A and B are shown apart, each in its own frame.
Chain A
Amino acid sequence: MSVKTFAAIDVGSYELSMKIFEVSKARGMREIDHIRHGIDMGTETYSTGKLSYDRVDELCRVLLEFKNIMKSYQVSDYKAYGTSAIREMKNKAILLDQIEQRTKLHIDVLSNSEQRFLDYKSIAFQGEGFQKIIENGTAILDIGGGSIQISLFDNDTLVSTQNMKMGVLRLQERLHHLDASIRQCDALIKEIVESQMNVYQKLYLKDRQIKNIIVVDDYISTIVMRKGKSSGISGFADRKMMDYFAQTCRSKSLSELSRMLDMAEENMPLLYISLILLRTIMNTMEAEQIWAPGVTLCDGIAYEYAEKNKIITSSHDFEKDIIACAQNISKRYRGSKRRSETLEQIALAIFDSMKKIHGLDKRERLLLQISTILHDCGKYISMVNLGECSYSIIMATEIIGLSHQEREIVANVVKYNHLEFDYYEAMERQHSLDREAYLKIAKLTAILRLANGLDRSHKQKFKNVKISLKEDQLLLTVDTTEDITLEKGLFGARADFFEEVYNIRPEIRRKRM
Chain B
Amino acid sequence: MVISMSKTKYGDPGNYTNRELSWVLFNKRVLSEARDKNNPLFERVKFLSITASNLDEFFMVRVASLKDMVNAGYTKPDIAGMTPKEQLTALNKVTHELVERQYSTYNRSLLPQLVANGLKVIERHEDLTEKEAEYVDQYYEENIYPVLTPMAVDSSRPFPLIRNKSLNIGALVKKKDGDGSLEFATVQVPSVLSRIILLPCENDKEKKVILLEEVIERNIHKLFLNYDIVCSYPFRIMRNADLSIEEDEAEDLLKEIEKQLKRRQWGQAIRLEVEEGIDRRLLDIIEEELRISEEDIYRIDGPLDLTFLMKMYGLSGFEHLKEKSYAPPQPVPELPAECDIFEKIRKQDILLFHPYETFSPVVEFIRQAARDKDVLAIKQTLYRVSGNSPIIAALAQAAENGKQVSVLVELKARFDEENNIVWAKMLEKAGCHVIYGLVGLKTHSKITLVVRREEDGIRRYVHLGTGNYNDATAKLYTDIGLLTCSPSIGEDATAVFNMLSGYSEPLSWNKLSLAPLWLKDRFLFLINREKENALAGKGGHIIVKVNSLCDKDIIESLYEAAAAGVKIELIVRGICCLKTGLPGIENRITVRSIVGNFLEHSRIFYFENDGKPEYYCASADWMPRNLERRVEIMFPVDKPELQKKLMTILNMQLRDTVKAHVLTDKGTYEKVDKRGKGTFNSQLEFCHMAVEAAGRQEQLANNRVFIPEMHHE
Q: List 27 A-B contacts (CB under 8 A).
A: A1-B455, A1-B456, A22-B457, A24-B456, A27-B456, A32-B457, A32-B458, A32-B494, A36-B498, A36-B503, A36-B504, A37-B502, A65-B501, A71-B404, A73-B376, A73-B377, A73-B451, A73-B458, A222-B508, A225-B507, A226-B507, A226-B508, A256-B3, A262-B517, A262-B518, A264-B504, A294-B507
The 0/1 profile, CB within 8 Å of A marked 1, for residues 489-506 of chain B is 000001100100111111
List which A423-458 residues lie within 8 A (CB) of chain B: none
Q: Would A74 and B507 count as touching, CB distance under 8 A?
A: no
Q: Would B451 and A72 count as touching, CB distance under 8 A?
A: yes
Q: In this assembly, does B453 line the interface, its C-beta being within 8 Å of a C-beta of chain A? A: yes
The 6 A-B residue pairs with the shortest CB-CB distance in the complex, in nearest-first order: A72-B404, A36-B504, A22-B457, A72-B377, A3-B457, A35-B503
Q: Would A22 and B377 count as touching, CB distance under 8 A?
A: no
Q: In this assembly, does A232 line the interface, its C-beta being within 8 Å of a C-beta of chain B? A: no
Residue among B2, B404, B495, B518 facing the most chain A CB atoms (10 A cut-off): B404
Partner of B505, one of A65, A259, A264: A264
Q: In this assembly, does A38 line the interface, its C-beta being within 8 Å of a C-beta of chain B? A: yes
Instruction: Specify the chain B residue showing the minimal Cβ separation from A4.
Output: B457
10 additional A-B pairs beyond A35-B503, A74-B376, A259-B2, beta carbons within 8 Å, are A3-B456, A3-B457, A22-B458, A27-B457, A38-B504, A65-B501, A72-B377, A226-B508, A256-B3, A262-B518
Q: Would A35 and B451 count as touching, CB distance under 8 A?
A: no
Minimal beta-carbon separation of A227 from chain B (angstroms): 11
Residue among B404, B458, B508, B518 facing the most chain A CB atoms (10 A cut-off): B458
Instruction: Specify the chain A residue showing the minimal Cβ separation from B494.
Output: A33
A72-B376, A72-B451 given; A5·B504 CB < 8 A: no
Minimal beta-carbon separation of B276 from chain A (angstroms): 56
B interface bracket (residues with beta carbon within 8 Å of A): 20 to 34
Alpha-carbon distance A429/B498, docked complex (angstroms): 48
Alpha-carbon distance A36/B504, docked complex (angstroms): 5
The 0/1 profile, CB within 8 Å of A marked 1, for residues 450-473 of chain B is 010101111000000000000000
Contacts of B376 in A (CB 8 A): 72-74
Minimal beta-carbon separation of B701 from chain A (angstroms): 34
Interface residues of B (CB under 8 A from A): 2-3, 376-377, 404, 451, 453, 455-458, 494-495, 498, 501-508, 517-518, 521
Alpha-carbon distance A68/B506, docked complex (angstroms): 20
Q: In this assembly, does A173 line the interface, its C-beta being within 8 Å of a C-beta of chain B? A: no
The 0/1 profile, CB within 8 Å of B marked 1, for residues 88-99 of chain A is 000000000000
Q: In this assembly, does A44 line the interface, its C-beta being within 8 Å of a C-beta of chain B? A: no
Alpha-carbon distance A226/B508, docked complex (angstroms): 7
Q: Would A34 and B506 count as touching, CB distance under 8 A?
A: yes
Q: In this assembly, does A229 line the interface, its C-beta being within 8 Å of a C-beta of chain B? A: yes
Interface size on A, residues (CB 8 A): 31
Alpha-carbon distance A22/B521, docked complex (angstroms): 34
A37-B503, A222-B507 given; A5·B404 CB < 8 A: no
Q: Would A74 and B494 count as touching, CB distance under 8 A?
A: no
Residue among A3, A26, A229 facing the most chain B CB atoms (10 A cut-off): A3
Minimal beta-carbon separation of B507 from chain A (angstroms): 5
Q: Would A225 and B508 count as touching, CB distance under 8 A?
A: yes
Q: In this assembly, does A30 line the interface, its C-beta being within 8 Å of a C-beta of chain B? A: yes
Partner of B457, one of A30, A36, A65: A30
Contacts of A35 in B (CB 8 A): 498, 503
Partner of B504, one of A15, A72, A74, A259: A15
Alpha-carbon distance A65/B495, docked complex (angstroms): 16
Instruction: Specify the chain B residue showing the minimal Cβ separation from A226.
Output: B508
Alpha-carbon distance A294/B451, docked complex (angstroms): 26
Residue among B2, B404, B457 facing the most chain A CB atoms (10 A cut-off): B457
Q: Would B456 and A229 count as touching, CB distance under 8 A?
A: no
Instruction: Specify the chain A residue showing the minimal Cβ separation from B498.
Output: A35
Minimal beta-carbon separation of A129 from chain B (angstroms): 18
Alpha-carbon distance A72/B497, docked complex (angstroms): 14
Contacts of A3 in B (CB 8 A): 456-457
Alpha-carbon distance A229/B508, docked complex (angstroms): 10
The 0/1 profile, CB within 8 Å of B marked 1, for residues 222-252 of chain A is 1001100100000000000000000000000
Minimal beta-carbon separation of B558 from chain A (angstroms): 21
Alpha-carbon distance A356/B498, docked complex (angstroms): 52
Alpha-carbon distance A308/B187, docked complex (angstroms): 83
Instruction: Specify the chain A residue showing the minimal Cβ separation from B490.
Output: A32
Alpha-carbon distance A27/B502, docked complex (angstroms): 31
Contacts of B505 in A (CB 8 A): 264
Instruction: Specify the chain A residue showing the minimal Cβ separation from B502.
Output: A37
Alpha-carbon distance A367/B521, docked complex (angstroms): 56
Instruction: Specify the chain B residue showing the minimal Cβ separation from A24.
Output: B457
Minimal beta-carbon separation of A105 from chain B (angstroms): 17
Alpha-carbon distance A73/B379, docked complex (angstroms): 13
Alpha-carbon distance A24/B404, docked complex (angstroms): 24
The 0/1 profile, CB within 8 Å of B marked 1, for residues 14-52 of chain A is 010000001010110010111111100000000000000
Alpha-carbon distance A229/B506, docked complex (angstroms): 15
A15-B504, A68-B404 given; A259·B456 CB < 8 A: no
Contacts of A74 in B (CB 8 A): 376, 453
Contacts of A256 in B (CB 8 A): 3
Minimal beta-carbon separation of B428 from chain A (angstroms): 15
Instruction: Specify the chain B residue showing the minimal Cβ separation from A22.
Output: B457
Minimal beta-carbon separation of B636 from chain A (angstroms): 15
Contacts of A37 in B (CB 8 A): 502-504
Contacts of B458 in A (CB 8 A): 5, 22, 32, 73
Q: Would A33 and B404 count as touching, CB distance under 8 A?
A: no
Q: Would A259 and B3 count as touching, CB distance under 8 A?
A: yes
Minimal beta-carbon separation of B489 from chain A (angstroms): 14
Instruction: Specify the chain A residue showing the minimal Cβ separation from B453.
Output: A74
Alpha-carbon distance A36/B502, docked complex (angstroms): 9
List which A69-87 residues lie within 8 A (CB) of chain B: 71-74
Instruction: Specify the chain A residue showing the minimal Cβ separation from B505.
Output: A264
Alpha-carbon distance A37/B498, docked complex (angstroms): 10
Minimal beta-carbon separation of A37 from chain B (angstroms): 5
Alpha-carbon distance A3/B457, docked complex (angstroms): 6
Contacts of A1 in B (CB 8 A): 455-456
Alpha-carbon distance A225/B456, docked complex (angstroms): 29
Minimal beta-carbon separation of A222 from chain B (angstroms): 5
Alpha-carbon distance A33/B492, docked complex (angstroms): 10
Instruction: Specify the chain A residue showing the minimal Cβ separation from B405.
Output: A72
